[in-house]
Amino acid sequence: MPQYETKVSVEDLKVGMYVCRLDRPWIETHFLFQGFHISNDADMQELQRTCEYVFVDPERGTEPDRRPLQPRRNKPIGEEIFRSAPEQDVYPVVTSMDEELQAARDSRAGTLAEVGNILDDLKAGRKIQVESVRRADAGMIASILRNPDAFLWLTRLKDKDSYAYAHCVDASSLAVAFGRHLGFAQPELEDLAIGTLLFDIGKLQLPDDILKKPGRLTEKEFALIRRHVDFGVQIVQEMKGSSKDIVATVGYHHERHDGKGYPRGVAGKRIPVFGRIAALVDCYDAITSERPYSHAMSAYDAVQLIYEWRGKDFQSDMVEQFIQCIGVFPAGTLVELSTGEVGIVIAQNRVRRLKPRIMLVLDSNKLALEFNPILDLIDNPMDSAGRPVDIRQPLVPGSYGIHASDFYL
């Protein structure tokens, strides 16, 4: 698998380059294949007419001029962050999914335990410092920087009973993976992780019967729920070592791009970048989780829904970058292949998002496999008739009795 992809202006394209990704969804263009070589001037002209920039795979075609990228150290995060994601991974993947999974599992368990201790301290009226939260997040951040797929896989393996406890950890890991994708420097990733880990901390001051109510909230109850944001801001402002980015993450994680969020009702660029990211990962993790009042949506369906909400609930550029980060078929998605076999997506391909790595669990007759082979669609595997194997359709979680939590645990 290529280690990187390179962002190229359409004006700088050359015949022989391999285009692996566009600056917009493939479905919005006339290109038939997701990934192709530029074979003539007509291909370049069509790309120039359709796109502003594309991403090319230098390992599969002509390599453009490029320079090594560095994290965005000491550079303020501005509006361009979602429009100009790094041309290649700032943090290269240095471990395989199998190698990283145990470390990710241990890190997640440790972070959950530390979060429990922090919440107990707050409930008891004891003061906490940002440094203690930073230590709780350290293992998670290190794992995601080595290989984000392992931790993102674990975010899918949860149940209704653990939602309130795990939501902040899983949203935090999604935020770190997204920040990694965008090229944030490590101090920025740490503040983003801390802010998302604490963004619901104000709920400690709300009654449990409202937080766990299985039915629709009354107008009065919802008004009380909204107050958790201001409660949370007050708590993190009083924490020694807090930063404006941490406070913004907590204070703006329920605001929406169109101004219809809460508690301030601000819109667009008036929402700090960290707050926008927090709002997106909070929503994505929530709708893909079992909650007292709602069933979990599949990761695939959640991606489609988030995409529909672009420009309304969430900034369009940010949504497109987020989908580039987690994939069209995110980790944990149950899929049926063109062969009839059934598998679970376990890792993304950073260059071709429709060709993830899949663990097979059922054969073409929908019978359980004794062993679970790994199929990497980027290798262009063929079926017995010599046809390329691809994803036929995503499946509803639990189809054929298959649950992602039964595997890799």
What pLDDT digit, counting tens, does each position of 176-188 carry?
Answer: 999 999 989 999 9
Q: Which comes out higher in pLDDT, residue 386 or 52?
A: 386
Task: Name 335's bridge partners.
Answer: 343, 394
User: What does the pLDDT read at residue 73?
Assistant: 46
Q: Are 193 and 338 members of one domain?
A: no
CA distances from 92 to 95, 97, 144, 187 (A): 9, 13, 11, 18
Which 3 state secondary structure label does DSSP give 255? coil
> Residues 212, 204: contact at Cβ < 8 Å?
no
Which 3 state secondary structure label does DSSP give 271? coil
The answer to the question of residue 81 being in a domain is no
> Residues 143, 107: contact at Cβ < 8 Å?
yes
Q: Are 114 and 226 members of one domain?
A: yes
User: What does the pLDDT read at residue 306?
Assistant: 95
CA 145 to chain centre: 13
Task: Take residue 282 and report the two structure tokens written for it.
Answer: 């909070």
Give the residue ranges of DSSP H helices in 147-204. Answer: 148-155, 163-182, 186-198
The answer to the question of residue 286 being in a domain is yes
User: What does the pLDDT read at residue 293?
Assistant: 67
Residue 304's CATH number: 1.10.3210.10
User: What does the pLDDT read at residue 62?
Assistant: 78
User: What does the pLDDT read at residue 65?
Assistant: 52
User: What does the pLDDT read at residue 27?
Assistant: 65
The answer to the question of residue 90 being in a domain is no
Q: Are 318 and 353 members of one domain?
A: no
**Residue 194 is which amino acid?**
I
Q: Are 188 and 302 members of one domain?
A: yes
User: What does the pLDDT read at residue 248?
Assistant: 96
Percent of the residues in the chain that have a pLDDT greater than 70, as a whole number: 87
Task: Take residue 366 and report the two structure tokens written for it.
Answer: 């929908």
> Residues 138, 113: contact at Cβ < 8 Å?
no
> Residues 109, 165: contact at Cβ < 8 Å?
no
Q: Which of 283, 308, 326 is the last residue of a domain?
A: 326
Taking the C-alpha atoms of residue 209 and residue 12, their distance in angstroms, rounded to an integer, is 60
Taking the C-alpha atoms of residue 44 and residue 32, their distance in angstroms, rounded to an integer, is 15
Q: Are 111 and 210 members of one domain?
A: yes
The answer to the question of residue 301 being in a domain is yes
What pLDDT band is residue 324 in, cutting at 50, 70 and 90?
confident
> Total structural domains in the chain?
3
CA distances from 169 to 32, 109, 207, 288 (A): 39, 10, 22, 14
What angle, rounded to 10 degrees, do the helices at 299-308 and 273-287 form?
A: 140
Q: Are 195 and 265 members of one domain?
A: yes
Q: Are 120 and 218 members of one domain?
A: yes
The answer to the question of residue 80 being in a domain is no
Q: Are 260 and 136 members of one domain?
A: yes
The answer to the question of residue 76 being in a domain is no
Q: What letters, b where the CB count within 10 A reaches 16 and e where it falls short, cover 280-319? A: bbbbbbbbbbeeeeeebbbbbbbbeebbebbeebbbebbb
Q: Are 268 and 292 members of one domain?
A: yes
DSSP string over 70-130:
---TT----GGGGTS--SS-SS---S-HHHHHHHHHHHHHHHHHHHHHHHHHHHTT---BH
Average pLDDT of 166-173? 92
pLDDT of 216 above 90: no
Q: Are 267 and 364 members of one domain?
A: no
User: What does the pLDDT read at residue 55?
Assistant: 82
User: What does the pLDDT read at residue 298?
Assistant: 83
Please state, as a whole number, how many other Cβ atoms lie within 10 Å of the Cβ of residue 268.
13
Q: Are 285 and 206 members of one domain?
A: yes
Backbone angles phi, psi at 229, to 5 degrees: -65, -50
> Residues 347, 357: contact at Cβ < 8 Å?
yes
Q: Are 49 and 169 members of one domain?
A: no
What pLDDT digit, counting tens, does each position of 34-81 carry?
Answer: 788 888 888 888 888 888 878 888 777 776 654 444 455 445 566 667
Residue 344, domain extent:
334-406
Burial class (CB in 10 A: 0-12, 13-18, 19+), 127: exposed
What pLDDT digit, counting tens, does each position of 329-340 carry?
Answer: 888 889 999 999
The answer to the question of residue 358 being in a domain is yes
The answer to the question of residue 71 being in a domain is no
Ranked by mean pLDDT, the top range of 95-104, 154-163, 343-352, 369-378 is 369-378
Average pLDDT of 347-366? 86
